[in-house]
Amino acid sequence: MSKAVGIIPARWGSTRFPGKPLYPIDGKPLLRLVFERCLRAKSLDLVVVATDDMRIASAAFDWGAEVALTSSRHLSGTNRVAEVASKTKQFAYVVNIQGDEPLIDPRLIDRLVEKLHSDRKVEIVTAAHPFKDPADAFSPHQVKVVLDLCGNALYFSRAPIPFQPSGGGGLRSGGRGKKQRRHRPSLFRHQGIYGFRRQMLLQFVRWKPSPLERSESLEQLRALENGVKVHVLVTATGSPGIDTSEDATALEQKLARAKRRMRL
């Protein structure tokens, strides 16, 4: 069994942006843009919109999406995804795709599924990329991740990790009087997409929220605190999330500029 399903959890009641999934961008609802990107992934055998809201479900039905109605009691998108996965036993791999990233790269989805398929030791895989603007690493709204030498996550945080030393002082290299330029590791932005082996996903949601998870408000720390390795695929760039109506407006302007360039 090596089939993969992509599940997009969607809810209406975003605190900062109510009704976000159906907000129109470039003539289409935000959620539809994400869904159409997922359809371009070669590795997914099925793409499902998971929601507890009939407004979202009805709209998704209208554009031809497979829709799963889920419980309204879920506190996270991961729990919503797991409910659908628990009823779709034919899929070995489950990709949890954020419903507010309309520029998600289909090739990234394929890479996540391929990693699960090719390496049986990997039970959870996600993605990260270097910050384009290092100053963004100081925002608590941007999640950072540090990696070990094998590409596995050591920690996720809203704080800027790892520590970036200031100043130009170097480290002694062993030669008399010689100095070596201080190495500054890259700051990686975590992109909120996850590939799970189905059984690991179902186990994950059975675990109670862990201490570090509660401290950082980052549920992926639950896996690390329970001894599960989370492999991180590093990409050159990532896709921005839409958190506010201002983000949506900025994206629409970006898409309009791209269309104008194509016509030239």
Query: What are the tens digits of pLDDT across the range 211-261?
Result: 999 999 999 999 999 999 999 999 999 988 888 888 888 888 888 787 777
- Tokens linked to 116: 């699960």
What pLDDT sits at residue 207? Answer: 97
pLDDT in tens, 164-215: 876 444 434 444 444 444 555 689 999 999 999 999 999 999 999 999 999 9
Given this structure, which CATH class describes domain 4-164+181-263?
alpha beta
pLDDT in tens, 105-129: 999 999 999 999 999 999 999 999 9
Q: What is the DSSP string of 144-178?
A: EEEE-TTSBEEEEESS--S----SS--EE-SSTT-
What pLDDT sits at residue 126? Answer: 98
What pLDDT sits at residue 248? Answer: 86
Tell me whether the omega of the peptide bond preceding residue 106 falls within 30 degrees of 0, making it cis.
no
Buried b or exposed e, range 88-107, using 16+ CB within 10 angstroms: eeebbbbbbbbbbbbbbbbe
pLDDT at 36 over 80: yes
| Cα–Cα distance measured from residue 28 to residue 49, given in angstroms and rounded to the nearest whole number | 16
pLDDT in tens, 71-113: 999 999 999 999 999 999 999 999 999 999 999 999 999 999 9
Residue 69: name the closest of 88, 81, 53 by CA. Answer: 53
Residue 248: name the closest of 77, 105, 102 by CA. Answer: 102
Strand positions, DSSP E, 169-256: 171-172, 179-180, 188-197, 230-234
